[in-house]
């Protein structure tokens, strides 16, 4: 039994999916980073002190979880970016070798 590749199409990378994933993850991260500012704007818009206090309490309780989520999201975003760059580098190298 041979471990030799039998086809040039053994590995397929969907660059569009990686690009879309990077954009989506970036958008989610930006939205999470803006939560404190959004919370303050909404609290002022509500006008009711009690409702505003409830919103601030919820946001404060969620702060630590948001931080962890942002960190994890950043890690996944870095993995997507590293994956894109690794495959682009391999593609450039293979193209250069094919040219001779």
Q: What is the pLDDT of residues 48-68, one digit of tens each?
A: 778 778 877 877 788 778 889
In a domain, 53, yes or no: yes
Is the distance from CB of 22 to CB of 85 less than 8 angstroms? no
Number of structural domains found in the chain: 1
In a domain, 7, yes or no: no
Which whole-number Å values give the CA distances from 39 to 34, 44, 82, 85, in the listed order? 9, 9, 33, 36
pLDDT at 8 over 60: no
What confidence score (pLDDT) does residue 67 get? 87
Range(s) of the domain holding residue 87: 15-99
What confidence score (pLDDT) does residue 41 get? 74
In a domain, 4, yes or no: no
CB-based burial, 29-59: b 16+ in 10 Å, e otherwise: beeeeeeeeebeeebeeeeeeeebeebeeeb
Is the distance from CB of 56 to CB of 43 less than 8 angstroms? yes
Its pTM stands at 0.66
């Amino acid at each position: 039994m041979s471990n030799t590749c039998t086809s040039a199409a053994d590995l397929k990378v969907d660059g569009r999916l990686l690009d879309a994933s990077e954009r989506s993850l970036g958008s989610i991260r930006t939205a999470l980073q803006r939560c404190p500012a959004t919370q303050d704007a909404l609290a002022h818009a509500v006008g009711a002190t009690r409702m505003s206090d409830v919103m601030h309490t919820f946001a404060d309780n969620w702060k630590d979880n948001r931080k962890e989520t942002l960190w994890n999201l950043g890690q996944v975003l870095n993995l997507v970016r590293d994956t894109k760059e690794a495959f682009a580098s391999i593609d450039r190298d293979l193209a250069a070798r094919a040219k001779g």
